[in-house]
Amino acid sequence: MKEFKILWIFYRKLIIPTFLFSVMLALALGVFNPSVFGFSFLFILPLMQYFIYEVRFPDEYVFYANFGFSRKFLWIFTVGFAFFIKALSGFL
C-alpha cells in the first residue's frame, strides 16, 4: 500500500498537466476523438516527466530511490502507462 502512495506522489505532478495538455493539443488539431487524445497523451507524458523530474527537480529521484523505485523503473512505468492509455483510447 505504501508503494502505491509513493507512486501517487510521483504521478500526481504528471497526470493532471499531461491530461490538460493532451486535451488542448487535441482541440488545437481540430479533431477531438479518443485516438488523438491517446496519441497526444503518449507523446506528452514522457515529456512532462523529463521536464519536471530530469530538468526541474532531478534530486527528487533520491526520495523515490529510498522507497525502492529506481529512475529506470519510473521511466519504464511511465512509458508503459502512456502506452496503456493509448491502447485504451484506441478501443473507445
Instruction: Write down the pLDDT at residue 88.
Output: 93
pTM reported for the whole predicted model: 0.87
Which tens digit of pLDDT belongs to each residue from 56-71? Answer: 999 999 999 999 999 9
Instruction: Write down the pLDDT at residue 81.
Output: 95
Domain ranges of the chain: 2-7+16-91
What is the DSSP code string of 26-91?
HHHTT---HHHHHHHHHHHHHHHHIIIIIII-TTHHHHHHTTT--HHHHHHHHHHHHHHHHHHHHH
Which tens digit of pLDDT belongs to each residue from 8-45? Answer: 999 999 999 999 999 999 889 887 788 888 999 999 99
Residue 52's region, left for phi above 0, alpha for psi from -120 to 50, else beta, is alpha
Cβ–Cβ < 8 Å for 46, 82: yes
CA angle 30, 21, 32 (to 5 degrees): 25
Q: What percent of the chain has pLDDT over 70?
A: 100
